[in-house]
Chains A and B, each alone.
Chain A
């Protein structure tokens, strides 16, 4: 790594002035060199100024367990794209283009991401007229031409109780040549609203950024606030946060295991897991009253403590849920008809996963050992190490297997932590934020790496607050998994990723 990067550890803050500003050529070359040497891009975003746009890139290096930040300035009109050399950047570049009205030259796939106006009024990367409403989903889709090739369009409203998104398949008979996914329907304007923050609404907006990942995103936000204020979180709160994060993982993994079983028509596991998922949600409600963990977290600790009665209650519920879940999931592995449907379906090769920068279970299913809890440990994971589960084939079966392995490890973790809950307080008082700083917080949500970055002005207010949900990295993985598959396998492949729409659309 060259000197143009400033090192930073997960959950810490540095002065913005300490990050060297490099020329755009060196900025891009440094990113290419770093990604060639095993670094990956966690976040890449722009801050629109009066005349120029500051571009920040946060990279992560697993081998060294550290993150690095670099920045440059663009003139506010055009910037070179390196997406074809570094595919994990393609969506980031489009996002910056849409948010900052900056045109990326030579981008191979230059389309809007969420269909909203840019943060700089009067600047639009696609020169769309200001007086005409933007129409979501209207763009040039990649099309395959030829005899007997047809196009299938699905969404935004889908068949089940599920968030909206638009999917375009290029098919030859039943076989999918290509899938293009166009989102943005859920865009609520979270990042634009965070400028000048934190506001009184910010914590709830972070908890609902992706509402099935309340703890994952809420925790990242709390970590940002704590690093900006220098507040230390009491050990008891760190443990409670870890328990909540693993309960969130368990609920969602259990739900996914059931849904995958349902999508291959294996109803026993589907219906058992649908219910057991609720058991984990109810355990979160024991902690804080909300099945989704709303109201548990606060910068500086947790709002609720755990009484001994609650702890015993949780231990008992956990033992019951473990017994039921093990029983339900074991059925999958011993049913040849289920395995026949899971194995070899929706394969993403490891090389592809690395190029796209996939995260979470989707990456680990391809044999990539990538887990924030392990690579850039935060909170309780600094003390207790959770083994990282990986599989090899990158297919639906691997993604299913990973969920079960992770679920088991999460249950072990929660049980152990409940039995050795440290004493002391669970909350530290807030303190004033430091100004002119940059803070980074990474957490491992159940879908993978969540990255929050805050940059503050001289008063400590956010000049920019950037949120990257794991789904932002992973949607392209779904598209790749469908190549060469039967279109009828789309629900199964999609479910094996189970990505967030609102987390992507924010």
Chain B
């Protein structure tokens, strides 16, 4: 007992001050992309230098789809530079398209009536539908003392009946499609859906595999898209705080 108390004092208070103070990202972190207008050099790339996931199209000055992009360490596709800006989550699927000079979109607050309902208590039921356990792990980490998701009134719950929203990770495998729908239906309306990670948005590394459905919005309507493979916990939290209008 005393040892536990002494340990508690030694370990200290470790919840990070974010969002009051900014977060420090590792300098090699690959976040919001800058697509430059060097269209010519992009077109010089040969066939083999295409993005294997169809995330980058060179035509029209270049366009990167953050929903498909895995934020690779070496991008063979085009003139893309990844900044350390972790704020990537959006409400509309087409806001994930980044072009040279395009506006940096963020997730929009939920409608006022939804915010009235969920603003101080938002519960999610998570379903991994072919996820590799990285999105799951970095979602889970938000509930640890470092991030302490509970202080924003957000929590992951065991039963869909207790939930206000569905949290999807993974490309939606054939074998999980039914369970995902059943879980969605079990959540009382009104409800929201979050697609967390490249897989859940558009299939990720498994896009177009005959065993997957290329993401959650092939089955259920999605209200928040969180890009990344996997998204950094900060990216996830940014999206959540924005839909609750706790961050602007």
Contact = CB atoms under 8 A, between A and B. Distances in A.
A208 B131 CA distance: 9
Contact of A208 (B10, B73, B134, B232): B134
A327 B10 contact: yes
Given A331-B4, A500-B133, A291 B205 contact: no
A303 interface: yes
A204 B135 CA distance: 15
Interface residues of B, number: 63
Interface in B192-241: 204-206, 209-212, 229-230, 232
B128 A328 contact: no
A164 B128 contact: yes
B242 to A, nearest CB: 21
A186 B209 contact: no
Contacts of A184: 175
A217 to B, nearest CB: 10
B28 to A, nearest CB: 3
Nearest to B186: A157
A156 B28 contact: no
A201 B141 CA distance: 28
Interface string B128-167: 1111111111111101111000000000101100000001
Contacts of A201: 52-53, 205
Contacts of B170: 186
A164 B176 contact: yes
Interface in A322-378: 324, 327-328, 330-331, 334-335
B20 interface: no
Contact of B134 (A164, A275, A278, A292): A292
A274 B144 contact: yes
A497 interface: no
Contacts of A288: 28, 73
A211 B179 contact: no
Contacts of A163: 128, 131, 133, 136
A281 to B, nearest CB: 8
B183 to A, nearest CB: 6
Interface in A205-248: 205, 207-212, 214
B7 interface: yes
A182 B7 CA distance: 41
B133 A185 contact: no
A163 B140 CA distance: 12
A331 B3 contact: yes
A278 B141 contact: yes
B145 A303 contact: no
A246 B127 CA distance: 29
A161 B139 contact: yes
Contact of B30 (A199, A209, A271, A289): A289
Contact of B73 (A162, A303, A331): A303
B205 A208 contact: yes
Of the candidates A164, A281, A298, the one having the most CB atoms from chain B within 10 angstroms of its own CB is A164
Contact of B133 (A115, A212, A296, A330): A212
A161 B140 contact: yes
Contacts of A304: 28, 73
A164 B176 CA distance: 8
Interface string A164-189: 10000000000000000000111111
B62 interface: no
A337 B226 CA distance: 41
A205 B206 contact: yes
A185 B212 CA distance: 11
Contacts of B135: 211
B91 interface: no
B145 A291 contact: no
B189 interface: no
Contact of B179 (A185, A210, A212): A185
A275 B30 contact: no
A230 to B, nearest CB: 22
A295 interface: yes
A289 B28 contact: yes
A159 interface: yes
A328 B133 CA distance: 25
Given A185-B175, A188-B173, A292-B230, A502 B52 contact: no
Interface of A: 114-116, 136, 156-157, 159-164, 184-189, 192-193, 199-201, 204-205, 207-212, 214, 255, 268, 271-272, 274-275, 277-278, 281-282, 285-292, 294-296, 298, 303-304, 324, 327-328, 330-331, 334-335, 500-502, 505
7 contacts: A160-B140, A189-B212, A201-B205, A271-B145, A324-B11, A328-B11, A331-B4
